Amino acid sequence: MFLQTVMVLLRAEGMDSCPQMAWAEYHQTVREVLYPARDLVLACGMSVGYADPGVPRPAMPRIPLSEAVTFVT
C-alpha cells in the first residue's frame, strides 16, 4: 500500500514506475552499491521515470473492475 501511494503520486506528477520485489533476492549486491544501514532489509525496488510510449509493451491481462470489486451502497 505504501508503494501504491508513491506510484499514484508519481502518476499525478506525470511520471511512471515499476515495482519489483525480485530486487530483494539480490540484496547482497544492492548492499555493496548502496551501503544501507545494517538494520534495514531490502523488501522491494522501484524504477521511477518517464515511460516511452513509442516502445511496445506486452499487454498484461486484467479482469474487469466489476469482477474484482463489489461496491456496496
Ligand X SMILES: Cc1cc2nc3c(=O)[nH]c(=O)nc-3n(C[C@H](O)[C@H](O)[C@H](O)COP(=O)(O)O)c2cc1C
34: contact with ligand X by CB under 6 A: no
How many Cα neighbours within 13 Å face the side chain of 31? 12
Q: Could you tell me if 47 and 22 are in contact, meaning their C-beta atoms sit under 8 angstroms apart?
A: no
Q: Which of 25, 59, 24, 66 is nearest to 42 (CA)?
A: 24
63: contact with ligand X by CB under 6 A: no
Cβ 30 to ligand X, closest distance in Å? 13
User: Applying CB under 6 A, which of residues 6, 9, 21, 40 lies at the interface with ligand X?
Assistant: 21
Binding site for ligand X (CB under 6 A): 3, 18-22, 44, 60
